[in-house]
């Protein structure tokens, strides 16, 4: 490990992935307490959302850990997790009418996009601050 190497991107990716993991675990805990009066609402749906969120956070944490072990391609893991998370927050997997309006369930949960933004910025910074290798 070089004394000049900067791990700012990995730290931001790890913080964002940890926040995403907390959101996913909170969704698992809250899914047990949700009550929907509609008998046609699938009870497994909050668990699918929570597991997708936890899987993306695990992918981001793995990428950050690889960067801390001096493997620069770990930033690719962090970027993929961030991009898939952002796209997943835009994909509704279930929509139903409550009588007062439509309720949408999205594939990935987020903490007001702060976690995914940290992961994305961390991945981009990791590539921007990477040490340049000289060709011989």
Any idea which of 3-12, 20-29, 116-125 has the lowest mean pLDDT?
Answer: 3-12
Domain count, the chain: 1
Whole-model pTM: value is 0.87
In a domain, 2, yes or no: no
Does 59 reside within a domain? yes
pLDDT at 117: 96
Element at 1 (helix H, strand E): none
What burial letters (b/e) apply to 41-68, b meaning 16+ CB within 10 Å? beeeebeebbebbbebbebbbebbbbbe
Q: Which domain holds residue 27?
A: 8-128
Kindly state whether residue 52 falls inside one of the protein's structural domains.
yes
Residue indicated by tokens 């992935």 = 17
Confidence check: pLDDT of 103 > 90: no
Say if 1 falls within a structural domain: no
- Asked whether residue 134 is domain-assigned, the answer is no
Is the pLDDT reported for residue 81 higher than 90? Answer: yes
Cα–Cα distances (Å) from 126 to 7, 19, 58, 85, in that order, read 7, 19, 18, 19
54: pLDDT confidence band, cut at 50, 70 and 90? very high
């Amino acid at each position: 490990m070089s004394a000049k190497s900067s791990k700012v991107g990995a730290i931001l990716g790890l913080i964002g992935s940890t926040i995403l993991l907390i959101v996913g675990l909170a969704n698992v805990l809250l899914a047990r307490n949700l009550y929907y009066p509609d008998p046609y609402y699938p009870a497994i749906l909050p668990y699918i959302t929570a597991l997708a969120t936890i899987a993306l956070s695990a992918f981001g944490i793995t990428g950050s850990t690889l960067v801390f072990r001096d493997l620069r391609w770990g930033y690719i893991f962090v970027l993929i997790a961030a991009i898939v998370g952002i796209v997943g927050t835009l994909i509704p997997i279930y929509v139903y009418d409550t009588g007062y309006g439509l309720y949408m369930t999205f594939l990935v949960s987020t903490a007001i996009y702060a976690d995914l933004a940290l992961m994305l910025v961390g991945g981009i910074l990791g590539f921007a601050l990477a040490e340049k290798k000289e060709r011989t």
